[in-house]
Amino acid sequence: MSFRVVIADDHTLVRQSVAKAARGEDGIEVVAEAADGPTARDEILRTRPDLAVLDIALPGLDGLALAEQLREQLPDLAIVFLSMHDDDASLQRAVGLGARGFVSKSASIDEFVEALRAVRDGGSYLSSDVASRVMNLAAHRDREDVGSLTAREREILQLLSTGHRPGEIAAELFVSVKTVKNHLTSIYHKLGVETGTQAVVEAYQRGIVHRS
């Protein structure tokens, strides 16, 4: 069964490049493209994809507002944002909406494909420059008590923050994928988050993980 994707970006070159890269991946089907927010909403509701790739700065209805609407109508829809990270408020809001990934428009197509694969495989993806922005935001917040996380959970969070998928974490730690997923469930619960991306953001903000 194919992993179905809708791509929305008002820049034709970006949208077509991203769509071409997605179509080149086995098991991935691009079911629609859109150049503005209202069209993206209509196409997503019509096609019911597994993933929506949204530019934050979509005309007519920005990607954040669109994601907010879709969260209510299609709660299982995965969302990856494409962004130039114009402001910290947008980044914080996107994290709060439960995005499964963030890819900078300055990133390579290879990085976008890596994000696509991660989300397709049930994981999440955070571009390195987004992580840097999150760290800058974290510098303005007080660190919270993180004593409830075990040493193993912190280790898994550190690997997650560097882009490792659950399977790769399992191989690195010589444990089963099921064990890693159980740890992730515990981590999400303790941090009060729902996705791997949110967990990484929260971990940076709390000073649990650090960029190497």
CATH number, domain with residue 110: 3.40.50.2300
Does 160 reside within a domain? yes
At residue 191, the pLDDT reads 86
- Closest by Cα among 117, 140, 114, 137 to 127: 114
Asked if 13 and 68 sit in the same domain, the reply is yes
What's the whole-number mean pLDDT along residues 56-60?
91
Q: Give this prediction's pTM.
A: 0.67
Tokens of 36: 């503005």
Asked if 122 and 151 sit in the same domain, the reply is no
Q: Which of 137, 156, 191 lies at the terminal end of a domain, its last residue? A: 137
Asked if 96 and 33 sit in the same domain, the reply is yes
**Three-class SS of residue 34?**
strand
Confidence of residue 88 (pLDDT cuts 50, 70, 90): low
> What is the rounded CA–CA span in Å between residue 192 and residue 206?
12
> What is the rounded CA–CA span in Å between residue 35 and residue 117?
23
Asked if 31 and 13 sit in the same domain, the reply is yes
Look over the chain and give the mean of its residue pLDDT values, rounded to a whole number.
85
pLDDT tens by residue, 98-136: 788 888 888 889 989 999 998 998 888 877 766 666 556
At residue 145, the pLDDT reads 44
Asked if 87 and 167 sit in the same domain, the reply is no
Q: Which of 137, 162, 185 lies at the terminal end of a domain, its last residue? A: 137
DSSP string of 97-138, one letter each residue: TT-SEEEETTS-HHHHHHHHHHHHTT--EE-HHHHHHHHHHH
**Are the beta carbons of 118 and 101 closer than 8 angstroms?**
yes
> What is the rounded CA–CA span in Å between residue 74 and residue 96?
16
Overall domain count for the chain: 2
pLDDT tens by residue, 130-177: 666 655 655 554 444 445 788 899 899 989 988 888 999 999 999 999
The residue segments making up the domain with residue 178 are: 143-206
At residue 201, the pLDDT reads 84
Q: Which of 137, 156, 171 lies at the terminal end of a domain, its last residue? A: 137
Tokens of 150: 């075990």
CB neighbourhood size of 194 (10 A): 12
Does 212 reside within a domain? no
